[in-house]
Amino acid sequence: MRGLINYGTNCSLNSIVQCLYATPGLHNLLRNGRQGHLSYGSVALTLKCLLDDMALESQRPCDPNPLVNALNEHQGFQLFCVQEDADTVFRCILEALTNGPVKAIRGMWDFETEKCIRCTACHTTKVKREKSVTILVHLSNQHVNNLQGYLESYSQQKDIASAYNCDTCHAKAKAEITSKVLILPTNVCVVIQRVRNMGRNSACIVKTEELFTFPETLDLKCLAKESTEGAEHLYGLYGVVAHRGTHYDGHNTAYVWNNESSWYLADDTQLMACSWQDVQRTYVGGSALYHEVAYMLMYSALARGACYSV
């Protein structure tokens, strides 16, 4: 394990890369792509080279700049001119890995949701399927302050659309919306929405520091459409991206499980051993400038070769 150089605004990238380094099975998929089959300067090749460098025993930090340049080339515009949101960086990397010999990487997080929309006027139901790579937790819309309880509550609730245009009765009516995951992926990324707009313009956007807990082992049986008993619904936590500071100016770090029965804190070039108790301190914010609060959570399926043990 090695730290990563921060050129001023890429702490979000560094934190995501540390989590990707700890993702079970990711190295194998990149290596199976073989360097000769990866385009020179591509996101896939530069990510592979960076993760390979991070595996070398050295005290010197790794340089993420080739990956930054590859992402800029892929996106067609300059990232990291300002501090980018870690969720945006994660999505950009996965979006760049959708084609070629490493396209299976995105599938490690890709889950398909079946959404059922029932018109309350004619009672017909329309089914839509949507894909996503993250689970969003909306703190402003929930009354449960723990992840397991939030997901169980979400799986049971029905959203109401007040102005649904029904294709059957051709009228505007209320609609009940329920959704279930068809197939649970190998890895799950949970994004805790800690940004809230308290007014009508960007000056009213604030970051919330309220308490939200998450477990080492997460049971996603409640989200699956067809639920069966067994360990295939159990996921182990292996990465936490935390943020300190304000919504406009802050710093990202990563708490990562290192496959050797211990956690470490990755703060750009610095790697420090830590404990589960240290990770738990990110449940809630303290001083916005000096205390980190959890923002993204990375889980891996325990029944599918995840290295995390409980």
Distance of alpha carbon 152 from alpha carbon 221, whole angstroms: 9
pLDDT confidence of residue 309 = 33
Instruction: List C-alpha distances in Å: 181 to 66, 114, 210, 220, 249.
Output: 36, 6, 28, 10, 35
pTM of the predicted protein model: 0.86
Can you give the pLDDT at residue 33?
59
Domain edges within the chain: 11-304
**Predicted pLDDT of residue 94:** 92
Q: How far is the CA of 135 from the CAs of 26, 169, 242, 250, 297, in angstroms?
A: 20, 33, 17, 23, 10
Residue 303: other Cβ atoms inside 10 A = 12
Q: What is the pLDDT of residue 308?
A: 38
**C-alpha distance from residue 245 to each of 73, 148, 149, 208, 248 (Å):** 30, 27, 28, 11, 8
11-304: CATH topology? Cathepsin B; Chain A (3.90.70)
Q: What's the pLDDT score for residue 306? A: 41
Low-confidence ranges of the chain (pLDDT < 70): 33-37, 101, 140-142, 157-159, 196-205, 226-231, 247-248, 260, 287-290, 303-310
